């Protein structure tokens, strides 16, 4: 099964690893094939309870922008509840799995993939990847506050297209999001620089706060623009119960 013969290639091609899970009383199907993808699917309802309740509250009138969509673990259930989801993801490997997950869940009609980095300007940026693996995270755009993490054997950097989402939504005349999810693993300043107008125009923002200076700047921006934190949860490390991040929900005050 090393892919060096016709038989092994036919065998590999015949494999179709998927898992069915229930989220918000709906059956969803996700691509697996490695331990990380399997974990993401199996922990969908338990990893971020605040996210689960936020998605459950969505309505068919909502337009959602998911920045840091990964393989669509949250984009897909969001699409089941809302009008449309814009899923922004910079890792091409993750985008491939995201597309499969959209197909498996009949969501190709109301999920729009934005397969690039979100930043302050339209250009090619250098992104550091900690490995070459489907479902990976913690990529760093131009060295933006890289988080302490274990690098894999195939850690590398690569050129990735970047666009400011504020400009892109105007250029393509896209629906403005009233709900935005931000989970960008140290790239908060880059995202903020190109998304400030969309953020200010949103009603609700779900933010993963990694307790870094960049995250503090992001939260300060939200507070200055009349957002109020209405809920938060701790995310702990599985092995030693260390506090890793907070997940926070902000709502625009009237």
Predicted pLDDT at 236: 76
**pLDDT surpassing 70 at residue 147:** no
Say which residues have a Cβ less than 8 Å from residue 29's Cβ, sequence separation at least 6.
Answer: 18, 19, 20, 21, 101, 104, 105
Rounded-to-10 torsion of CA 188, 190, 195, 197:
100
**Residue 192, SS3?**
helix
**pLDDT surpassing 90 at residue 242:** no
**pLDDT band with cut points at 50, 70 and 90 for residue 146:** low
Over the range 130-146, which residues count as b (16 or more CB within 10 Å of their CB) and which as e?
bbebbbbbbbbbbebbe
Q: What is the spatial distance between Cα 180 and Cα 248, in angstroms, rounded to a whole number?
A: 12
How many angstroms separate the Cα of 65 from the Cα of each of 12, 19, 50, 175, 176?
A: 35, 25, 17, 10, 9
**pLDDT band with cut points at 50, 70 and 90 for residue 54:** very high
Predicted pLDDT at 148: 64
Predicted pLDDT at 194: 97
**pLDDT band with cut points at 50, 70 and 90 for residue 157:** very high
**pLDDT surpassing 70 at residue 254:** yes
- In terms of pLDDT, which residue wins out, 217 or 238? 217
The stretch 138-154 carries a mean pLDDT of: 80
**pLDDT surpassing 90 at residue 149:** no
Cα 76 to chain centroid distance, Å, stands at 11
Number of neighbouring beta carbons within 10 Å of residue 157: 13
Q: What is the spatial distance between Cα 145 and Cα 184, in angstroms, rounded to a whole number?
A: 11
Predicted pLDDT at 190: 95
Mean residue pLDDT across the chain: 94
**pLDDT band with cut points at 50, 70 and 90 for residue 244:** confident
Predicted pLDDT at 144: 72
**pLDDT band with cut points at 50, 70 and 90 for residue 240:** low
Mind listing the pLDDT tens digit for each residue in 205-229? Answer: 999 999 999 999 999 999 999 999 9
**pLDDT band with cut points at 50, 70 and 90 for residue 25:** very high
Predicted pLDDT at 61: 98
**pLDDT band with cut points at 50, 70 and 90 for residue 3:** confident
């Amino acid at each position: 099964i090393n892919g060096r013969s016709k038989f092994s290639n036919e065998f590999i091609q015949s494999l179709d690893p998927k898992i069915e899970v229930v989220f918000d009383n709906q059956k969803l199907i996700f691509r697996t094939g490695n331990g990380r993808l399997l974990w993401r699917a199996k922990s969908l309802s338990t990893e971020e309870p605040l996210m689960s309740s936020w998605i459950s509250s969505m309505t068919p009138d909502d337009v959602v922008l998911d920045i840091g969509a990964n393989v669509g673990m949250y984009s897909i259930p969001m699409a089941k509840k809302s009008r449309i989801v814009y899923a922004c993801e910079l890792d091409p490997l993750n985008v491939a799995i995201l597309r499969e997950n959209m197909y498996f869940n009949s969501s190709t009609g109301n999920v729009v993939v934005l397969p690039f980095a979100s930043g302050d300007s339209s250009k090619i940026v250098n992104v550091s990847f900690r490995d070459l693996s489907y479902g990976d995270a913690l990529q760093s755009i131009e060295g933006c506050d890289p988080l302490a993490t274990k690098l894999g054997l195939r850690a590398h950097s690569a050129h990735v297209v970047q666009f400011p989402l504020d400009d892109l939504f105007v250029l393509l005349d896209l629906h403005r999001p009233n709900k935005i999810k931000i989970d960008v693993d140290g790239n908060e300043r880059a995202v903020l620089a190109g998304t400030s107008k969309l953020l200010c125009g949103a009603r609700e923002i779900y933010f993963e706060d990694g307790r870094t200076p960049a995250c503090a700047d992001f939260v300060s921006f939200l507070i200055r623009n009349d957002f109020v934190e209405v809920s938060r949860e701790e995310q702990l490390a599985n092995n030693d119960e260390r506090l890793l991040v907070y997940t926070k929900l902000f709502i625009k005050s009237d």
